[in-house]
Amino acid sequence: MATAAKAGQRRGQGARDRILAAADRLFARQGITATGMEQVAEEAPVSKRTLYAHFRTKSELVLAHLRALASSGNTLEGALTREDLPPRERILRLFDLPVTDAGAGAVRGCPFLDAAAEFPDPEDPIHVCAREQKLLMVRLVTALVTELGCAGPAALAEQLVTLADGAAGRAMVLNDPDYGRFARAAAEILLDRALAGNSTATGAKAG
């Protein structure tokens, strides 16, 4: 490949990354629907022509934003696959988030839940993408509690992710970055009880 072509490719990649970083900042600060494509182009900064060359529609940009977040590992789910941590610690890391937005200093919730709230139609590709991430989350936690030998792993995993998503939501609305401490304490109780092998502990009956 010619050097000029390589340089062009690098510039192209740089623009895409700058667009996604700008979208992430703006979506976190003011919401997704409130953010226009023009504003994303200004914030990146790229020309509108470049923006639309990378993302033909706003919906495409939002989906790429969510996928980039998912693969960044900087999500509630991010710690669940960290092979360097023991299974229980990976689960408890769910309660260390959320992150504070560098711009406004506001506490962010789970970007997938928040995107689904902005696009309530269950068939909207953005809602579907958020759902897939939340289903991945519970699959990962189910595998971890199974590895730990917990009773009723499937229902226990749903309880743990419910606590994590609830903590993210309340941390956001209350603007309290430490709000996860309550959910973490509850998770410890549920894990200890399921490890004690009490088969009623995980709510499997209710499932």
Residues that bind a copy of itself (CB under 8 A): 28-31, 33-34, 101, 104, 106-110, 112-114, 116-122, 127, 130-131, 134-135, 155, 158-159, 161-167, 169-170, 172-175, 179, 181-186, 188-190, 193, 201-207
**Closer Cβ to a copy of itself, 121 or 147, answer by number:** 121
3-state secondary structure of 202: coil
- Count CB-CB contacts under 10 A for residue 157: 24
Q: What is the 3-state secondary structure of 120-140? A: CCCCCHHHHHHHHHHHHHHHH
- Min dist CB 11 to a copy of itself, Å, is 32
**Helix (H/G/I), strand (E/B), else coil: 174:** helix
Is 148 strand, coil or helix? helix
Q: Which residue lies nearer to a copy of itself by CB, 15 or 172?
A: 172
CB 84 within 8 A of CB 146: no
Please, what is the minimum distance in Å from the beta carbon of residue 145 to a copy of itself? 13
Phi, psi of 100 (to 5 degrees): -90, 135
- Pick between residue 30 and residue 57 the one whose CB is nearest to a copy of itself: 30
User: Closest separation between CB of residue 125 and a copy of itself, Å?
Assistant: 14
Least CB distance from residue 166 to a copy of itself, whole Å?
Answer: 3
Nearer to a copy of itself, 53 or 135 (CB): 135
CB 23 within 8 A of CB 65: yes
Query: What six digits make up the tokens of 153?
Result: 């792993």
- Closest separation between CB of residue 73 and a copy of itself, Å? 20
Q: Distance between CA 20 and CA 127 in Å, rounded?
A: 19
In whole angstroms, how close is the CB of 130 to a copy of itself at the nearest point? 5
Residue 18 vs 108, nearer CB to a copy of itself: 108
Q: What are phi and psi of 107, to 5 degrees?
A: -80, 130
d(CA 39, CA 106): 20
Residue located via tokens 């304490």: 185
Closest CB to a copy of itself among residues 15, 113: 113
